[in-house]
Structure 1
Amino acid sequence: MSVSQSLALQPGMDNKQLWGMDFHNPVFPISAGFTLLFIFYALLDPASANAQMIATRTWAIEHFDWLFMFAANAFVVFCLALIVLPIGKVRLGGVSARPEYSTVSWFSMLFGAGMGIGLMFWSVAEPVAYYTGWSGTPLNAPARTAEGATAAMGATMFHWGLHPWAIYAVVAVAIGFFTFNRGLPLSLRSAFFPLLGHKVRGWPGHLVDIFAVLATIFGLATSLGLGAKQAASGLHFLTGIDNSLELQMAIIVIVTGLTLLSVWRGIDGGIKVASNINMVLAIALMAFVAVAGGIGLFVTGIGTTATAYIDYMLPLSNWIGREDESWLHGWTVFYWAWWISWSPFVGIFIARISKGRTVRAMVTAVLIVPTLVTLAWMSAFGGNALAQSAGGVGELANGIGDVSVTLFEMLQHMPLSTFTSALAVVLVLIFFVTGADSGALVIDCITAGGKVDGPRKQKVMWACLGGVIAAVLLWAGGQDALDALQAGAVTAGLPFTVVLLVMMVGLYKALHQAHYM
């Protein structure tokens, strides 16, 4: 690419300075306008908005399940190819670039932004749901049997293993390469330069970035609002304190306040520190659960879970002629749509912290390492949850009552339950902070025209806005408003699936050219 081509897409060229901040025109005003419109829509009649958005989501999932399934499989194959093909030698930032962060800090940050908070709740709730037949079983495996337990662990790993991380990796590599190797803005539009050329600077590029901002802010607000309800349920279960709206709002205020502190301290003093602390605490909690539940069960569980994952991967990847269609749509296709809608946020953040690493090293770390960590985590938490369910211990024996308390129900039947439950609450809160902080960073990058480091007060504004949206929806619209927002984010995964497939083609062409030029 020539120098003139690069200069035509310099970060922030179309920016407007206002109140000491740096806004990209028209991405910022249109994104903000659509955000406000959707909030008013969700608050005007929350029940109707929820029903309409869920109906739209259901239509997208039922009619385009084949597209979601095909795309997720294609991303895994593509990422594995990047690891073994010669083009994997391309280094983000050029041959002389070196990583900004240590491997441990880098991995801690990408894992916390990717799905750390989800694993805290679903590593227990999901296997139990499948095993007890709470909402159907994968491939119609018989509930409450040895076969059903194997299928439960295999399906849970399938949803949290290679496929979601491959979705994130495709976006991360594309953004990282075009930003650090081609001098383009740190923004989603840059990944389409091989296909759209200079049109990415016009409305095609604006629309891509606007979509990325909306998907990110809606996803973060949904997670914060629903997470506050889950955290409040956990506190009620542990302490008996009323799970009131006031408690949920207080949790949002606390998380938002900690996020602002983290944002103000920057990546090195904020996200990196919090992510490292969280990783240490998470490993400590996992080790305790593994030992308390029986180290033999844990070691055996790793083998059986890995085997189940391998055995069930191909059957669960197939969408043709499935007899468990309801389960397929309610779980797998929903997950793929949700991960895809989150990929602009997670992908851009991973790209931001990955300069200096080769494509091969980056994809290996993003794809393989989190899958191995998830394998160990699921074997500890999911394995013990199924053992308690099969043994008729506590509430887990009857399946899921409340997703937000299943983790605490499992810990209740282990030693030092008060201490470990309190540790779990702290983990949840820090995961919320790191997720919200990284989300504010990503939105700021996009709305600042692709600048790697925008003004701090601009990041603070986006962090505040995420908390305000979650609080307003929870206070005025309740569960219906949050569900409508989540359904909207999942529905957005449909058009973005096509966007990612196109992006993948352009990325391969660019990497091939970079390696052989």
Structure 2
Amino acid sequence: MSDSSDSEAIPAPEGPANLIETDFEIGQDNIQPKIGPFGLDIHNPVFAISALVVIAFVVVTLAFQNSLGPMFNDLRNWLTASLDWFFLMAGNIFVLVCLGIVVSPLGRVRLGGKDATPDYSYFGWFAMLFAAGMGIGLMFFGVLEPVYHMAISEPLGVPSPFAEDGSLIPENLDAARAMGMAATIYHWGLHPWAIYAVVALALALFAFNKGLPLTIRSMFYPIFGEKVWGWPGHIIDILAVFATLFGLATSLGFGAQQANAGLAFVFGIPNSIEAQVVLILIITSVALISVLRGLDGGVKLLSEVNMVLAMALLLFVVLVGPTLSIFSGFVDGLIAYGRDLIPLSNPVGRDDDSYRQGWTAFYWAWWISWSPFVGMFIARVSRGRTVREFIVCVLIIPTVVSVFWMSAFGGTAIEQVVELADSQVKEHVIDSYSPELSLFGMLADLPLASITSVLAVVLVIVFFVTSSDSGSLVIDTITAGGKVDAPVSQRVFWASFEGLVAIALLVGGGLGALQAMAVSTGFPFAIVLLVGCWAIVKGLMDEPR
């Protein structure tokens, strides 16, 4: 590594980089484990500052909830309403950069060097991508969003097929159905996966090919040079820890609420704070076991179990639901997505503010705030893939699978809403809006509802376990300065810390404020990702192809 901050060329090590043996100019002390009190590697200031500030945030939020909660919500609403154009344009840039690299000679670069081989099979790799990326989101929104956009939000001005009295307007049905699927697929297709791919590709390139630590600050080495090992880099990593921890704690809290709602729906278990706290404790305990077993024995194994269970539930819905309609809806959904992709991506001259600001801008900020966690995890398990293979598998294949998932679950739900007068999906999405019950309402109108609903609850819980343990591995790596072999006690600390933060804010009523704060971190990180796009292209151009 150069002694100068001039970053015109970043020397790559010979062969795959060994992050523990690489001798950085900032000193061997930065990359060798330095065990402190309680077996924690805390010599990096990111660890202590991140933990203390998060604790202070939780305490202050709970103490001044009546004033801070509305303030954080106002900040989030201002960002998504006033800067919706920025989030939409940023998302478009991420997609274009990824697709441009795929079709360019830069796609031939291999992550880890020309002789590197993949660490995981395709099945294990895909399973971890979905479990960490958005598997739980597909469970929650797979039914809710297609029905909601068809019947309520009216994206791009397409009228709802339902009149104010609840009666069906047949001439509006086909257009609303197509737009409901296109508007949903847009939020779960190329754009969110491009956000993850940018972060993951930047981290994998600079860690595995350039020999830099596997941490967010390494993306900025072409710009700041050696300064990234000082406070500029510390601030970047601390922001990444905040975004990851806030996002995970929020998801744990809201996930417990969804799981509790499912258990109440199926078994009549009381829907209460106490039950949700117990669920968080269960999720955190299983995540701790997974953390102790490590990446291969824990996260990978649970992700593969998750994949099998999710595919079983998907196959059931396809077979017992409106099978022909699901397959035709899959094709129609892809066509509608391709047709409406540019209009939905356009940030100006639109009248659908509730959809563009309340859904799209919020989603983009949310995906970006999660990108340090998901991107770093994807990078960690993607060594040995070519850049072209990496982008295709992280961008295109998950999009197609998400489209089919939405076509099966959302398409079945739309059929139920249209065909059944007493559809439970209509009751929980259109009439009373209980989003956590939308999936269970759809399953209730299919055969074997008692069995499939239990499977759905198990899937929700296991998806959150995989998010929690993979998130703990990521935070651990960031706070240890990019080391992937930090003490196990440190990973245990972060996994436990996530659960405690979620419980404190769930009991104290601060989950909404935490979610608003997590989404708000999406704006500064969008700037980080835009810079990362330039760093990726520059770094790839220096690599042998």
C-alpha displacement of 1:20: 1.6
Partner of 1:258: 286
- Matching of residue 409 in structure 1 with residue 427 in structure 2: no
Q: TM-score, normalised by structure 1?
A: 0.96
Q: Spell out, residue by residue over 1:89-119, the C-alpha distance to the aligned partner (whole angstroms, 9 max, x if none).
A: 1111111111111110011001100000010
Instruction: Pick the aligned partner of 1:33 from 52, 56, 63.
Output: 52
Partners of 1:11 and 1:185 within 8 A in 2 = no
- Matching of residue 463 in structure 1 with residue 481 in structure 2: no
Partner of 1:422: 454
- Matching of residue 473 in structure 1 with residue 505 in structure 2: yes
SS of aligned partner of 1:92: coil
SS of aligned partner of 1:514: coil
Residues 324-339 of structure 1: pairs in structure 2 closer than 5 A: 324-339=352-367
Residues 366-445 of structure 1: pairs in structure 2 closer than 5 A: 366-391=394-419, 392-398=421-427, 399-400=429-430, 401-445=433-477
- Matching of residue 484 in structure 1 with residue 513 in structure 2: yes
- Matching of residue 118 in structure 1 with residue 137 in structure 2: yes
Corresponding letter in the other structure for 1:26? P
- Superposition RMSD on alpha carbons, in Å? 1.5
Once residues 461 and 337 of structure 2 are traced to their aligned partners in structure 1, the CA distance between those partners, rounded to angstroms, is 30
Once residues 195 and 43 of structure 2 are traced to their aligned partners in structure 1, the CA distance between those partners, rounded to angstroms, is 27
Q: Spell out, residue by residue over 1:202-225, the C-alpha distance to the aligned partner (whole angstroms, 9 max, x if none).
A: 111111100000100000000000
Instruction: Pick the aligned partner of 1:8 from 21, 25, 30.
Output: 25
C-alpha displacement of 1:327: 1.9
Once residues 23 and 365 of structure 1 are traced to their aligned partners in structure 2, the CA distance between those partners, rounded to angstroms, is 36
Per mean C-alpha deviation after superposition, the further-off stretch among 285-294 and 160-169 is 285-294
C-alpha displacement of 1:6: 6.3
Runs of 4+ displaced beyond 6 Å: 3-6
C-alpha displacement of 1:24: 4.3
SS of aligned partner of 2:51: helix
- Matching of residue 17 in structure 1 with residue 13 in structure 2: no
Partner of 2:328: 300
Partner of 2:249: 221
Partner of 1:55: 74
Paired residue total = 511
Partner of 1:128: 147
Once residues 154 and 27 of structure 2 are traced to their aligned partners in structure 1, the CA distance between those partners, rounded to angstroms, is 51
Partners of 1:6 and 1:182 within 8 A in 2 = no
Once residues 319 and 252 of structure 2 are traced to their aligned partners in structure 1, the CA distance between those partners, rounded to angstroms, is 32
SS of aligned partner of 2:544: helix
C-alpha displacement of 1:62: 1.9
Corresponding letter in the other structure for 2:258? Q
Corresponding letter in the other structure for 1:8? E
Once residues 11 and 418 of structure 1 are traced to their aligned partners in structure 2, the CA distance between those partners, rounded to angstroms, is 58
Corresponding letter in the other structure for 1:508? V
C-alpha displacement of 1:42: 1.5
Q: Spell out, residue by residue over 1:190-213, the C-alpha distance to the aligned partner (whole angstroms, 9 max, x if none).
A: 011111111111111111100000
- Matching of residue 322 in structure 1 with residue 350 in structure 2: yes
Partner of 1:139: 156
Corresponding letter in the other structure for 2:448? L
C-alpha displacement of 1:45: 2.7
Q: Spell out, residue by residue over 1:474-513, the C-alpha distance to the aligned partner (whole angstroms, 9 max, x if none).
A: 11x22xx101000001111111111110111011011011
Instruction: Pick the aligned partner of 2:537 from 496, 508, 516.
Output: 508
Structure 2 unpaired stretches of 5+: 1-9, 14-21, 162-172
C-alpha displacement of 1:451: 0.4
Q: TM-score, normalised by structure 2?
A: 0.91
Partners of 1:10 and 1:185 within 8 A in 2 = no
Summarize the Cα distance change of 1:6–1:160 in structure 2 as closer, same or farther, 3 Å threshold: farther
Q: Spell out, residue by residue over 1:275-324, the C-alpha distance to the aligned partner (whole angstroms, 9 max, x if none).
A: 10110111110011011112211211111111111111111000101111
Summarize the Cα distance change of 1:8–1:291 in structure 2 as closer, same or farther, 3 Å threshold: same
SS of aligned partner of 2:294: helix
Partner of 1:354: 382
C-alpha displacement of 1:80: 0.7
Structure 1 unpaired stretches of 5+: none
Among the aligned pairs, what percent are the same residue? 51
